Amino acid sequence: SPLACFSDFTEMMRALGYPRLISMENFHTPNFMLVSEVLLWLVKRYEPQADIPPDVETEQDRVFFIKAVAQFMATKAHIKLNTKKLYQADGYAVKELLKITSVLYGAMNTKGVERADLSEEDGSKFKFDLGSKIADLKAARQLASEITSKGATLYDLLGKEVELREARTESIARPLEINEAEKMMKVAIDCVLEEVQKTKDMLNNVALDEANLEAKIEKRKLELERSQKRLQTLQSVRPAFMDEYEKIEEQLQKQYSIYLEKFRNLTYMEQLLDDHRRTEQEMFEETANMLRLMQSRLKEEERHLLKSGNNDDSDVEIQEDERSDSEVEDRQVMKQRTAPETLLQG
C-alpha cells in the first residue's frame, strides 16, 4: 500500500542518516525541491564524487537534473527509475525514491551483519534472526514432513521385498515365449492403427468443414452483391414526394427571410420606442428640476422682501411684481409641459 511504502521510506531514510525529518504531508502536493534534495543526497551517499548539477530553478534545469540522476542510477547501480513519476514530485515519486533507499539500506544492513560476525565469532555463530528466516523454516518443515512420509513408504516396500523377490526371480528365470510377445506386439500395432484411423477421420472432418465454410462464404458473397445492387437501384430511383418536398423547402426559405426582416424591423422599432421614452423621461426630470429651482428662488425673494421692511406701497408693488413674475413662470412651465405632449402625439 502507499502508506506502507511511505513508512518504509521514512524509516530507511532515518536509518541512512538523512538530516531532515520527512512526513507524509510533504508529498500531498508536488514538492520538487524536497525530491531534488533527497535525490541529490542519495546520489552523494552512493558515490560522493558524482557530478550532478544541483540547479532546479527553471523547468529545463529540472528536466536535466531528473535525466542526469536517472542515467547515473541506471549506469552505476542498475536501478531503473521512472522519470515522469519523479518529476511529479508527489506520492508516486516516493516509490521511485524507495528503489534507491532500499538498495542503500540493504548494503548498510549487510555490512552491519558482517561486522557483527567478525566481532562476535565466539559464541554467536548459531545466533540468527528468526524474523528473516521464516520462509526457510517453512521450507525446512515441509521437507521434513516429506522425508518422513517417503521413509514410511520405503519401509513398507522393503517389508514386501521378501515376497516380491521370489516373484521377480521366477519371472526372470522363466524363458521368453514368442507367442505371447507376438500377441503383445499385435495389440500395440492395433492400438497404433486405431489412433491413425482416428487422425484420418479428423482430417476428413476438417476437409468437410472447410468445404462447408467455403460454401457459406460464397453464399454470403452473393447476398452481399444482391444487397449492393438493390441499394444502387434505390439510390437511383427518385421518390414520388421529392418534388413537393423541394417546393415546400423553397417556400420555407422565403418565409424565413420574411420572418428575419420583420424581426429586424420589430427590434428597430422597439429600440426607437425605448429612446423616445428615455428622452421624454429626461425632459420631465428637467422640468421638475426647473420648477424646484423657481420655487426656491421665489421663497428666497419673499424672505428678502420681508426682511427689508419697506412701506405698504412698496409691498403692493412687490406683490404686483411677484404676480407678474409668477405669471411669466407659469407660462414657461405650461410651454415646457406641452412640448413633450406634442412630441408624443407626433
Cell of 285: 426630470
Among 182-186, 241-245, 291-295, 334-338, the range scoring the smallest mean pLDDT is 334-338
What CA–CA distances, in Å, run from 190 to 172, 178, 187, 197, 340?
A: 28, 18, 5, 10, 126
Predicted confidence (pLDDT) per residue in 304-337, tens digit? 999 886 555 545 444 554 454 555 455 554 544 4
Look at 336 and 96; give whichever has higher pLDDT. 96
Predicted confidence (pLDDT) per residue in 216-250, tens digit? 999 999 999 999 999 988 888 777 788 888 999 99
Look at 30 and 315; give whichever has higher pLDDT. 30
Measured between its terminal Cα atoms, the distance across the chain in Å is 85
- Res 72: pLDDT: 84
Q: What is the 3-state secondary structure (H, E, C) of 266-321?
A: HHHHHHHHHHHHHHHHHHHHHHHHHHHHHHHHHHHHHHHHHHHCCCHHHHHHHHHH
Radius of gyration of the chain from its Cα atoms, rounded to whole angstroms:
55
Separation of alpha carbons 39 and 9, rounded Å: 13
Q: Exposure pattern of 48-82 as b/e (b: 16+ CB <10 Å)?
A: eeeebeeebeeeeebeebbebbbebbeeebebebe
- Res 331: pLDDT: 54
Look at 206 and 110; give whichever has higher pLDDT. 206
Which of 20-34, 151-165, 303-317 has the highest average model confidence (pLDDT)?
151-165
pLDDT value at 74 more than 70: yes
Residue pair 52/72 in contact by the 8 Å Cβ criterion: yes
- Res 194: pLDDT: 92
- Res 155: pLDDT: 87
- Res 63: pLDDT: 87
- Res 309: pLDDT: 67
Separation of alpha carbons 158 and 145, rounded Å: 20
pLDDT value at 120 more than 50: no
DSSP string, 19-53: SS---GGGGSS--HHHHHHHHHHHHHHH-TT----
Instruction: Give kind and range of the element (H or E) at residue 174.
Output: none
Beta-carbon count within 10 A of 241 CB: 9
- Res 342: pLDDT: 45
Which of 47-51, 164-168, 317-321 has the highest average model confidence (pLDDT)?
164-168
- Res 325: pLDDT: 52
